[in-house]
Structure 1
Amino acid sequence: MNHKLYLPLAASIMAFMGVNAQQKKSISTIVLSNASDIELIDKPIIIKRNVIDKAGTAVGFPVLIYKNDTITSQVNDLDGDGKWDELFILDNFAAKEKKIVQLKWVNEAPKFPIRTSVRFGKREAENIPLQPATSESVNAHQVYKALGFQKYQTDGPSWENDKVGFRHYLDGRNAKDVFGKKIPAITPENVGINSAGAVEDNYHQMYDWGRDVFPVGSSAGLGGFALQVDNEITRLGILGADTLNNIEKTNFKIVAEGPVNSVLNYQYNNWKASGNNYQATETTSIWPGMYAYKNTVKIKGLKGNETLLVGLSNINNQNGLKVIEVGKWVCLIQHDNLTYKREWIMGTALILPKKDYLGYIEAPKTGQLTDSYLAKMKIVDNTSVRYYAVAGWELSADKNFKTPQDFTNYVTHLAQQLAVEITVAVK
């Protein structure tokens, strides 16, 4: 596992990993405009393929040039049909800045630094070495306790950028955990396995790059979700000691893994809650520059009496919760020695759309979902809710998260940045 994990569609997903770009087609002009009064750093922009390739017949890769510099970007194949669907761009903008950029189609593309990554490995038996993978299907009985061994590297997929890392417990628990990073480099591929290729919890100790820092317990972690039907709360999945999942089948896939964007998708089929079966989809996306990831949740089969609950583990929090409105967002912020054994200072937060926010509750003291603040979110059948989960560790390389005000300032500034949409005009 000392090699990098790439998708079969690497030539498309890792769009700009070649060299010696050559012009393929005539140049078009695209205008990118920041109408806001704030500076934007590492701002993501998504341009759908049909905007710049209306006929869908363009050959090669699109490259954007601004003042003789190539803008960092990649293409993503979101539906897995072998053709890229979107151009994902990452760029900086001054307040009120307008950039007139040139679009070129090239046979090969420039190489960009790798600033996001996904790591996933699995094994089919305890005595079989773990292998890298890009997808997985899990039935209700294929959970950790029933199998008798941990099937997955780091309990499930992990994803990161140059600031922070996260992991998802695919073993049935579906909680979200945090890797604190001390350096911007991507962490080693062998985190969570030993030299023999066996799964090993070796990431709860400090390395040069950092470590797992966040206690999850019976919570949904940072950004995991649950469903409230009337007054009954149902966890998405189970606890580690349970032998049968409340989800009939979970399908996981790495959708994209590239220099500036990595995307993961989960399909939860027949999630049993309060006597109903729900179909849930979760898409997780990360890009460089932010101590956060984006999560999008969509549920089918809603009857109208359901509330989405987004979790914020509050283990080791003795300082309560701060709720701050920032434009179209609501920020739920906590800051304390939130790490294992209260050893380090850490802040965690949720950035939630104000239009869907219905307040928050504390999870029950006992049961399947505990140790959490739970943000209540309005949810409409088969309609997406998007939010962001934020984690700032005091040992992070380039930010000071030691005081509550430092972390609060970071979260609110990030919310302001996320609210800005870059206008795209194709000439």
Structure 2
Amino acid sequence: MIAVKPRHLSLVLASCWLAACQPAPQQSAAAPAEEVQVKPLVLAGMQVQNPSAFARPDQAVRFALADLGLTQQPPASSVWSGANELPAQWLDSDLDGQADQLMVVASFAAAEQQQWQLRGEPSALQQSSRVQAEISVKEGGEWQGKQYQGGHFVNVQTVTPPAQYTDHSEYIRYEGPGIESDKVGYRIYLDWRNGFDIFGNITGKPVLHQVGLDGYSSYHEMQPWGMDLLKVGKSLGAGGFGFWDGTQALGVAKVSGHTATVLDNGPLLARQRIQYHHWQVAGKTLNVDSQLSMTAGSRLLHNKLTLSEPLDNLVIGLVKLPDTKLLTGTLESSGHQYTYLATYGAQSLNKDNLGMAILFKQGQLDQLTADDHSHLAVMKLIAGKQLDYYLLAAWQGEPGGIQTEQQFVDYLQQQVELLTRTPRIKLDNPATTAAVQQPLTAERALFWAKAMADAEMQRQVPDYVWGGWDHERQRPTTFEYTTGLLLQAIDDLNQLQPNPAYQQAVLNTASSFVAEDGSIHSYDLGKFNIDSLNSGNLLLRVWQRTGEARYQKALAQLREQVRQHPRTQNGAFWHKKIYPYQVWLDGVYMGMPFLTRYSTTFEQGASYKEAVHEFEVVAEKLRNPETGLYYHGWDESKQQAWANQDTGLSPEYWSRGMGWLAMALVDVLEEIPADQTELRAPLIAQSQQLAAALQKYADPVSHVWHQIPDKPQAPGNYLESSASSMFVYFYAKALNLGIIDPSYRAFTEQSYQGLLNQFALLDANNQAHLTNMVQVAGLSAGRDGSYDYYMNEPVMRNDAKGMGPFIMASVQLAKLLGQPK
């Protein structure tokens, strides 16, 4: 037997999966050679769906190498959709010299789903490059002052121009690095101007290698490949960036130098990097790293900016030209949704129509403004240092080019959806397949709980302490429900499988937020945010174990919030002070389990009735008796844009909203003593009704639930892991508590297996992930509760709002499976 090192295990499994590990068929010695069929060596499977109601040609999809179950790029690989090989390219996204991503480009019909395989066999495709990044400088001449005389152009991988380099030095061909797709090309001035310019392409294939070979003047007029389209002047050009000083945009001009480097050069993705050294601006000196990339078939240029230190008022913009129309996308949308600032009109140097746009997440926009030269968007950077945005140009003269303003607007709307609503993906690798196919036992449920918890102990838990960083929301950690949710789940697991590391993590997080005087860092009672109460459950557990007075004082503050919390006329809690008269399903879970547990501990159950009343109002106002499902929210005032003017209800059923409610039901029922039958009766009835309704809307194949449960076939809808985990937790715990019929046991086990089949992923490092969960959803300005709104919220992995319930569901299922049937 050959010993296999752990880091190579995934490759060994891959070679076995669906290939060498299958039993070899018996063959007759006389069988003709042509009858022997060799199965392809399948390394991983990918299910990819277009989430839009329109076709997506040349959709680029990326997969992490580790997710495919691989520790390194295979020596031979190809990607197949049925009998057709797809164009693919391996990428080194983190620039460590090793491939860590696979990018595939494919075309999809509206809402089409495709099944792909990564095979361990050489590619047979003859791919011509559809993208290009290049830097070309002169050699063989000499510097005379600020100009380079003589010599000839040669392409280089990287360049740091000498100190005397400036505009029109005739040293860099077309004055900076260039990057293009088969649609359009861009150049970035590598001097004080820092403008972004456009090369129109009339050939439908890369052309930068033909541009400016004889100097600057030729590309200002039409050539066989196309022409320069834009007069940048003193503006930011076609999507450049700078600093907004309150009156004008200052380009990245005062620097000690630049370094430009080609990182990737096709066939499907081109990428380059520009480093701006020692930018002096706003009284600071900082470095800027700009990574620019384009994919085949797209006009979009992605600019990923990273600053060495925080800077307010970073600005991006478009040149302001006469006889053009300024266009803006909707600013009333979720902060995660992309929008745009654009111009359209006869603004090309060829005197024909040209559309330009910058596209960015609405939540990162600080303000739209302008100066004498540019239309501008002032941006809010992540941690003050990071910004991702896109720019594009669409020229009338390109093959099949956009000809009218309306066509350009329609195109922009599609680009917004392409960026916002990413393809729905399910991955299978051999390690995951082997793990999820193990017989379902109490031990296997705990295996998965532990695998997810241990992974989170590495990924996120250490940063959940006060002063840490919330990686999910890209902001400093605060005392909010997600913190308490994940740590409560880990504590649930610890109660079945004690682990000192789990216990310490719970204590570290709680103690970091609660000061010695009992005050809670980042908590503000006056905000009346019901979400804040959920983490009180964590503090309650820590107080019960430690008896420290500071935790009791902190808990008293949260209880005081409940006393003062504003309510509807029928006594239901507002979701937040900033959301007046509104009751959301989320809030029932955030508040009522805490209230009942606190009441058990300190009030001899005096507040049970108050908690039960919240469920009664929710059942009365939000439940649809025809379906048994609950709408996400209710506005008593009927004033919100999302609220039905007759009922006050939001328009859709959101699965995770109902998941919060379902979890709250069983958690509160667990707390109210069995002898208080009158109080428990409405909650038991509600639980039984909900169990029957949810079972009807489970997907009949996977046995889990869609993001919008009653519209499984609508474009973009997807099987969603956080709600599905919450529902399994509800069923398993309800069975354990004896509040639903035992006949639900088989369905509950089936649905838990569905969680594993659909969402569990073991990567090449044997680290567990939970995939395909919506990051967040709410009801407010820009979050209208429509079907499209729920489809446009980001789809994540390992978010605490899904990981916590999955671990909790696994613990409850382990308890259930430990009981006799």
**Bin for the TM-score computed over the shorter chain:** 0.7 to 0.9
Aligned: 1:96 with 2:96 = no
Do structure 1's residue 255 and structure 2's residue 256 form an aligned pair? no
- The reply on whether 1:322 has 2:345 as its aligned counterpart is no
1:233–1:27 Cα change, 3 Å = closer
What residue in structure 2 maps to residue 144 of structure 1? 166
Question: How far is 1:232 from its partner?
Answer: 6.9
Whether 1:412 and 2:428 are equivalent positions in the alignment is: no
Structure 2 residue 169 is the aligned partner of structure 1 residue 153? no
Matches within 5 A, 1:75-114: 75-107=90-122, 110-114=125-129
| 1:346-403 Cα deviation digits (max 9, x unpaired) | 111111211101222112x3xxxxx1111111113464322221212121211232x2
Stretch moving more, 119-128 or 403-412: 119-128
* Partner Cα distance (2:106, 2:384) in 1: 32
2:376 is matched with 374
Which of 195, 204, 214 lines up with 1:184 in the alignment?
Answer: 204
CA contact (8 A) 1:314 1:372 kept: yes
Contact 1:309-1:374 at 8 Å conserved across structures? yes
Deviation, structure 1 residue 138: 3.5
In structure 2, the partner of 1:127 is 150
Q: Is residue 387 of structure 1 aligned with residue 389 of structure 2?
A: yes
Distance 1:382 1:72, change over 3 A: farther
Report whether the alignment pairs 1:313 with 2:319.
Answer: yes
* CA distance 1:37–1:24, change in 2 (3 Å): closer
TM-score computed with the length of structure 2 as normaliser: 0.44
Helix, strand or coil at the partner of 1:325: coil
Partner of residue 116 from structure 1, selected from 116, 131, 154: 131
| Structure 1 unaligned residues grouped into runs of 5+ | 1-21, 238-245, 366-370
- Cα offset for 1:81? 3.9
Alignment partners' CA distance in 2, 1:347 and 1:99: 33
CA distance in 2, matches of 1:261, 1:23: 31
User: Larger radius of gyration, structure 1 or 2?
Assistant: 2
SS class of match (1:189): helix
Matching of residues 16-415 of structure 1 within 5 Å: 25-56=41-72, 58-107=73-122, 110-123=125-138, 125=142, 126-138=149-161, 141-144=163-166, 149-187=169-207, 189-194=209-214, 199-228=215-244, 233-237=249-253, 246-302=254-310, 306-315=312-321, 317-325=322-330, 328-340=337-349, 343-363=351-371, 365=372, 371-381=373-383, 383-401=385-403, 403-415=404-416
**Partners in 2 of 1:161 and 1:134 — Cα distance?**
19
Q: Counterpart in 2 of 1:423?
A: 424
Q: What secondary structure sits across from 2:77 in the alignment?
A: strand
* Alpha-carbon shift at residue 109 of structure 1 (Å): 5.3
Q: Of Structure 1 and Structure 2, which has the larger fraction of its residues in strand?
A: 1
Asked if structure 1 preserves the Cα contact closer than 8 Å seen for 2:65 and 2:102, the reply is yes
Structure 2 vs 1, CA of residues 405 and 201 (structure 1 numbering), >3 Å: closer, same or farther? same
From the superposition, tell whether residues 301 and 384 of structure 1 become closer, same or farther in structure 2 (CA, over 3 Å): closer
Q: C-alpha distance in 2, partners of 1:233/1:331?
A: 18
Paired residue secondary structure (2:313): strand
Could you say which residue in structure 1 is the equivalent of 2:488?
none
Equivalent pair of 1:144/1:150 in contact (CA under 8 Å): no
Report the TM-score, using the length of structure 1 for normalisation: 0.82
Q: Which is further off, 385-394 or 183-192?
A: 183-192
Contact 2:180 2:208 in 1 (8 A): no
Asked if 2 retains the 8 angstrom alpha-carbon contact of 1:24 and 1:104, the reply is yes
SS in 2 for 1:214: coil
Q: 1:202 to 1:119 in 2, by over 3 A?
A: farther
- For the 8 Å contact 2:182–2:296, the answer to whether it is kept is yes
What code does the residue aligned with 2:64 have? K
Number of the residue aligned with 2:434: none
Corresponding residue of 2:738: none
**In structure 2, C-alpha distance between the alignment counterparts of 1:149 and 1:297, rounded to whole Å:** 27
| Deviation of 1:330 (Å) | 1.7
Could you say if the C-alpha distance between residues 172 and 111 of structure 1 is closer, same or farther in structure 2, counting changes exceeding 3 Å?
Answer: farther
Q: Using the alignment, how far apart are the partners of 2:242 and 2:402 within structure 1?
A: 32
SS at match of 2:286: strand
- Partners of 2:221 and 2:323 lie apart in 1 by 24
Pairwise CA RMSD? 2.4
8 Å CA contact 1:272, 1:278 repeated in 2: yes
More helix by share: 2
Counterparts of 2:42 and 2:418 in 1: how far apart (Å)? 34
Measured after TM superposition, the shift of residue 188 of structure 1 is 5.7
CA 104–226 in structure 1, closer or farther in 2 if over 3 Å, else same: same
Residue 131 of structure 2 aligns to which amino acid in structure 1?
Answer: T
1:143-169 superposed Cα distances (whole Å, 9 cap, x missing partner): 326xx8321011111111111111111
Determine if contact 2:181/2:295 at 8 Å carries over to the other structure. yes
| 3-state SS of paired residue (1:424) | strand
Q: Which amino acid aligns with 1:345?
A: N
How many equivalent pairs are there?
379
Contact 2:192 2:251 survives alignment (8 Å): no
